[in-house]
């Protein structure tokens, strides 16, 4: 690039550079001087520069990188007179060295070559900025700096292009603007090419962050957001890639203002959901790898950029799963069954337990109704207790705890208790087992049935009243039902709890623990007995009315 192709302000860089070091009205000058004195205590050097007064400068200016003094008394050194303090000149050896180095650079400069420099802005003056490049000071006009006047650029690292070298004035002009605009043009060319056909290109991962990866494509970095990595959905990039990995990407957007290129890895691969009907069906069994475990379930990798969710309730037939990690672990390979394919939501659900033997089937194969087994109380509810027997839980209902209907599970059991029970029902279809504790003990009704039969007259007290009848306690643990239509001469609204009732047994089922009694039947039975007695009575003085009166008195006692 030639200087004549770029508009640059008509600035005398040499004059501006001198002005940066000027301390008085006198002009700077490059002269040879003789070292008169090296004063280490005062850390200064006295130099005779042929003026009325000797000049002073810091001793540090003539030390090498190791701190050694490079000259001795009487030696000649070249310095720059940067100004005057009264009649005493101010001098700089460092500036003279820089000028010498700059002069050497300018002398060797080839205007047929292109030079890109990288340095630090160290000074600012009227027309622009001084850029220090390894001790050489170049001038960057403000119009070519691409730096806003609102910011302070001192200390800023910049890259720039040398656009003019003036050998007569000993100045070098650089342009940051030219380099930036060239890079912009090159970037736009790359972007246009990437966006034109959405072509798949090979990139190299330069940096991985929590929100995505920066990928180099043809000398330009673009961001692959974590949502653009996989068809599975947002993923943690560090779990799948590492820096310097090569990946196929597609450019999906470019923000000119922010100079931000967006890339996608998933757009560079086939979307597995487009053809999922031909690859998976509900009910299929697939082998997967556990990729992530949460308290509510696990995510499993099916390969081909597909991921499915395994809910905690689908991991095991055990209803008390506390955490999936108790059954599976990261990177473990397991077989699962596809139970849901939602193409709209792009969601797969799988089950592990459906491929495992059902505990109820195993239980039913090993046990039968009326078997007596031992289990452990796993929980207690208002309606009974659950008893764990191997891999299943059976329900011990309150009514199966004891023949005493006033006792329930909370009264006699606690979690962790071992309890002996009888299996009274196995519902294989619904996975339920019903248990009984009282079935291991003789039924009070069975004992009662051995001593009584239908037609026997019994006495008891009213225990409870229902809409359909009255429960009468005959003996401890033996209750009988007196239905309303069996009250006979008794009035329902006159009957109270604790009241004595005399009746006859009308129904006795010891097997099912059921007894019914009847006052009405007792009345008819006693009437028949009275008639029988009347027929057998030889005493003519007793009338039929007397017999009925006598029987009525007995019932009212």
CB 96 within 8 A of CB 123: no
- Mean of pLDDT over the chain: 85
Query: CA 48 to CA 33: how far, in whole Å?
Result: 5
Report pLDDT for 334. Answer: 95
For residues 22-35, average pLDDT? 64
pLDDT bin (cut points 50, 70, 90) of residue 9 is very low
For residues 253-264, average pLDDT? 83
Query: CA 47 to CA 336: how far, in whole Å?
Result: 91
Report pLDDT for 372. Answer: 94
Record the pTM. Answer: 0.48
Q: With b meaning 16 or more CB within 10 Å and e meaning fewer, what string describes 450-468?
A: eebeeeeebebebeeeeee
Report pLDDT for 10. Answer: 47
pLDDT digit string, tens, across residues 135-182: 888 899 988 988 887 788 899 999 999 988 887 777 889 999 988 888
Check whether 4 has a pLDDT greater than 70: no
3-state secondary structure of 264: strand
Report pLDDT for 6. Answer: 40
For residues 513-538, average pLDDT? 82
For residues 280-284, average pLDDT? 92
CB 297 within 8 A of CB 245: no
pLDDT digit string, tens, across residues 76-100: 998 988 888 888 888 888 888 888 8
Report pLDDT for 27. Answer: 44
3-state secondary structure of 114: coil
Query: CA 414 to CA 411: how far, in whole Å?
Result: 9
Report pLDDT for 126. Answer: 77
Report pLDDT for 541. Answer: 52
Report pLDDT for 429. Answer: 86
3-state secondary structure 430-479: CCEEEEECHHHCCCHHHHHHHHCCCCCEEEEEEEEECCCEEEEEEECCEE
Q: All domains of the chain, ordered by start, with CATH?
A: 1-174 (2.40.50.140), 197-268 (2.40.50.140), 272-355 (2.40.50.140), 359-440 (2.40.50.140), 442-557 (2.40.50.140)
Report pLDDT for 500. Answer: 92
Report pLDDT for 24. Answer: 35
pLDDT bin (cut points 50, 70, 90) of residue 546 is low
pLDDT digit string, tens, across residues 490-509: 888 888 999 999 999 999 98
Tell me which range, 193-202, 284-293, 543-552, is most confidently predicted by mean pLDDT.
284-293
Check whether 215 has a pLDDT greater than 90: yes
Report pLDDT for 7. Answer: 41
pLDDT digit string, tens, across residues 458-490: 999 999 888 889 999 998 888 899 999 888 888
User: In terms of residues, how long is the chain?
Assistant: 557
CB neighbour class for 311 (10 Å; exposed up to 12, middle 13-18, buried from 19): middle
Report pLDDT for 156. Answer: 92
- Range from 6-10, 71-75, 291-295, 508-512 carrying the lowest mean pLDDT: 6-10
- Cα 264 → chain centroid: 23
Of 384, 373, 440, the closest CA to residue 411 belongs to: 384
Taking the CA atoms of residue 15, residue 19, residue 25 and residue 26 in that order, the dihedral angle to the nearest 10 degrees is -60
CB 232 within 8 A of CB 191: no
Report pLDDT for 293. Answer: 94
CB 464 within 8 A of CB 481: no
- Better-predicted residue by pLDDT, 108 or 158: 158
């Amino acid at each position: 690039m030639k200087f004549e192709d770029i508009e640059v302000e008509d600035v005398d860089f040499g004059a501006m550079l001198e002005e940066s070091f000027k301390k008085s009205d006198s002009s700077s000058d490059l002269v040879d001087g003789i070292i008169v004195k090296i004063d280490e205590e005062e850390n200064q050097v006295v130099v005779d520069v042929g003026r009325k007064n000797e000049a002073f400068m810091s001793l540090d200016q003539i030390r090498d990188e190791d701190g050694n003094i490079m000259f001795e008394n009487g030696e000649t050194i070249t310095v720059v007179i940067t100004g005057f303090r009264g009649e005493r000149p101010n001098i700089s050896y460092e500036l003279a060295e820089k000028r010498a180095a700059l002069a050497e650079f300018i002398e060797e400069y080839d205007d047929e070559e292109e030079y890109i420099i990288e340095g630090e802005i160290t000074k600012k003056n009227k027309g622009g900025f001084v850029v220090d490049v390894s001790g050489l000071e170049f001038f960057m006009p403000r119009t070519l700096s691409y730096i806003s006047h609102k910011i302070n650029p001192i200390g800023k690292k910049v890259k720039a292009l040398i656009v003019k070298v003036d050998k007569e004035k000993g100045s070098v002009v650089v342009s940051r603007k030219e380099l930036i605009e060239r890079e912009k043009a090159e970037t736009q060319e790359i972007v246009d090419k990437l966006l034109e056909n959405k072509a798949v290109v090979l990139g190299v991962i330069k940096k991985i962050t929590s929100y995505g990866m920066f990928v180099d494509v043809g000398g330009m970095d673009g961001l692959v957001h974590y949502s653009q990595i996989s068809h599975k959905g947002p993923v943690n990039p560090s779990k799948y890639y590492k820096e310097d990995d090569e990946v196929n990407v597609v450019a999906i957007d470019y923000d000119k203002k922010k100079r931000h290129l967006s890339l996608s890895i998933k757009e560079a691969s086939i979307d597995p959901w487009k053809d999922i009907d031909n690859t998976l069906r509900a009910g299929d069994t697939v082998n997967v790898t556990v990729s992530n475990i949460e308290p509510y379930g696990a995510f499993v990798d099916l390969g081909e950029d597909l991921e499915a969710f395994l809910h905690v309730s689908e991991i095991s037939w055990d209803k008390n799963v506390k955490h999936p990690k108790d059954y599976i672990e990261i990177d473990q390979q397991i077989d699962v069954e596809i139970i849901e394919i939602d193409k709209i939501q792009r969601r797969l659900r799988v089950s592990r337990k459906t491929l495992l033997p059902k505990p109820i089937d195993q239980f039913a194969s090993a046990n039968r109704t009326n078997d007596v087994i031992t289990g452990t109380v796993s929980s207690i509810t208002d309606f009974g207790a659950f008893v764990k027997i191997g891999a299943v839980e059976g329900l011990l209902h309150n009514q199966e705890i004891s023949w005493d209907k006033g006792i329930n599970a909370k009264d006699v059991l606690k979690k962790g208790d071992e309890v002996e029970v009888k299996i009274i029902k196995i519902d294989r279809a619904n996975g339920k087992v019903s248990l009984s504790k009282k079935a291991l003990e003789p039924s009070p009704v069975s004992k009662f049935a051995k001593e009584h039969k239908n037609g026997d007259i019994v006495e008891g007290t009213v225990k409870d009243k229902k809409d359909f009848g009255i429960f009468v306690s005959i003996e401890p643990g033996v209750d009988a039902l007196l239905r309303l239509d069996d009250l006979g001469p008794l009035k329902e609204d006159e009957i109270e709890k604790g009241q004595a009732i005399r009746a006859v047994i009308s129904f006795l089922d010891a097997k099912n623990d059921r007894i019914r009694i009847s006052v009405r039947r007792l009345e008819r039975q006693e009437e028949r007995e009275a008639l029988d007695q009347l027929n057998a009575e030889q005493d003519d003085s007793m009338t039929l009315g007397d017999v009925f009166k006598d029987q009525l008195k007995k019932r009212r006692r």
